[in-house]
Amino acid sequence: MFKGFLAFIPRHVSNKTVLGFMEFLRRIAHLSKRKIRDHYKKNEEFFAANGIEGFVENQKDLKDVSFGKKNLAFSGCEIIAVYNALLNLGGVSDYSLPKLISGFEKDGMIFGGRFGTSPKALLDFFLKNGYKCDFARDESEIRRIESKYDTFILTVYNDRNNIKRQIHTINVNREMSGLIAHNVYGNGAPMGPFPSVEVMLGSINKGRSKLICIFGIGE
């Protein structure tokens, strides 16, 4: 019975409802302007000392990077996905990770960053910055979006049978060899290549992941 309870939200609550609740939590528990400035300065110092080379794959190592009430290792996967997508799109020079963090601390965090960032806030960011996007909540829409874009952001349940394994957001890019997924496990290594997004989803956590939403991004 307890296992059924853990699976209830991933299996029986619609993605529309889940995303709507995230948007509700986006509206509460904001940080003060002073705290956002302090985080920006601290994070700038961290990356000046440690640097970033290429796609961010090592989320687990970013415990010293402040984000909201937590840190980037704990709840920063959405921001990392945005950074990695921008890198693939050629727009990362305009948005350092500290700048992205500050932007989403001002608007986008779910309950002060305790549960990451609302996927709708990611979509809003790209649209605001002039990118074309196509958003879907249903797995039946994956192939349509995949056929139109080369850069994607996906939010998924880590385990369709256990909500306690939480939610994760990743960037996926099309390369010559196929689709490459970044920061899937936060352990320093990308996943792929995959022939399709559906095959990739079937490879995450031994096939237990479940899509919440996907959007393609283009110029």
Chain-centroid distance, C-alpha 192: 18
Tokens at residue 137, please?
């909540």
Domains of the chain: 2-218 (3.90.70.10)
Helix (H) / strand (E) containing 46 = helix 33-50
Helix (H) / strand (E) containing 174 = strand 167-175
Taking only the tens place, the pLDDT of each residue in 125-174 is 999 999 999 999 999 999 999 999 999 999 999 988 778 878 999 999 99
Rounded distance between C-alpha atoms, residue 43 and residue 100, angstroms: 11
Is 188 a residue whose pLDDT tops 90? no
Taking only the tens place, the pLDDT of each residue in 10-29 is 888 999 999 999 999 998 87
Task: Provide the pLDDT for residue 91.
Answer: 78
pTM: 0.94
169 in Cβ contact with 160 (< 8 Å): no
Average pLDDT over residues 200-206: 90
Tokens at residue 186, please?
């936060």
Cα–Cα distance list, 159 to 12, 18, 21, 44, 130 (Å) = 14, 15, 19, 34, 34
